Amino acid sequence: MSSLEQWKQFTQARIGLNRSGGSISTKEMLKFRLDHAKAKDAVLLEPNWELIQEQTNELTQKYGIQNLFLKSKVSSKQEYLLRPDLGRRLFEDSKLNLEPFSDRYDLSIVCIDGLSAKAIDENLVPFLELLFAEIQKTKLSLAPLVFAKWGRVALGDEIAEILHAKICLVIIGERPGLSAADSLGIYLTYEPKLGNTDESRNCISNVRPLGLPLPLAVKKTMYLINECLAQKKSGVLLKDQMPSENNYLSQEKLILGNADN
């Protein structure tokens, strides 16, 4: 195996593409077109919210919390893509549905489709199962679990502000790349409120089995939640001093490698 082939084992990035003269090979071109089609599908399709809610009912019942489905002010997929501002605000009827649950909570978890239905369909429920298992070990009070259609990250601020939650945790389908259409993004904000901007949030990106593994993403999420509550801040004011992920990832790859053998 050449050194280049060895490097290819560790990334989905397009490196060392086969060429014929000045052009890439037909095989590489077809693969590029396939990945481009997958990325478009991830953006244009809708998650199966009904199935996801059914799958999470057991989780929410176990924790004694409600499971709510809300909408942003967006009225169509096309409008969602053209008007990001509407995706950051709650539809009036959804706001009314949320207000009866207004109380004092430590944590509000908001799951939003964002720009990847594939990420939501494939990785949201497994992530929530791992996250709730860790939350169970704490004394955190949880707001109702919210699912939101056609939303942007900032939609979580309005939702968590109405609920009076100390921390808003947004789990959203990330904008797909040409090698990964199934990534979740995790955004954490202390004292969420309308008008917050991106510097007030901590972000964990590329959460998927072939990116940042779900168990490590949950570990990072719990670390940031604890630090947020202890230091009463988030975003650029909160320094991430969690031990290096690289060592953990190396151990994960070693374990997976041994399992494959």
Question: Total domain count for the chain?
Answer: 1
153 annotated as belonging to a binding site for a ligand? yes
- Cβ atoms of 66 and 101 closer than 8 Å: yes
CATH number of the domain bearing residue 197: 3.40.50.11240
- Calpha distance 118→183 (Å, rounded): 8
168 annotated as belonging to a binding site for a ligand? no
Domain that holds residue 121: 48-237
DSSP assignment of 58-127 equals HHHHHTT--EEEEEBS--SHHHHHH-TTGGGSB-HHHHHHHGGG---EEEEEEEE-TT-HHHIIIIIHHH
Question: Is pTM beyond 0.85 here?
Answer: yes
Note whether residue 31 is domain-resident: no
Which residues of the chain fall short of a pLDDT of 70? 245-261
Note whether residue 93 is domain-resident: yes
Note whether residue 14 is domain-resident: no
Q: Which of 112, 80, 87 is nearest to 185 (CA)?
A: 112
Note whether residue 12 is domain-resident: no
Q: Which residues contact 73 (CB under 8 A, 6 or more apart)?
A: 86, 87, 89, 90, 91
Note whether residue 22 is domain-resident: no
43 annotated as belonging to a binding site for a ligand? no
Q: Where on the phi/psi map is residue 16: left (φ > 0), alpha (ψ -120 to 50), or beta? A: left
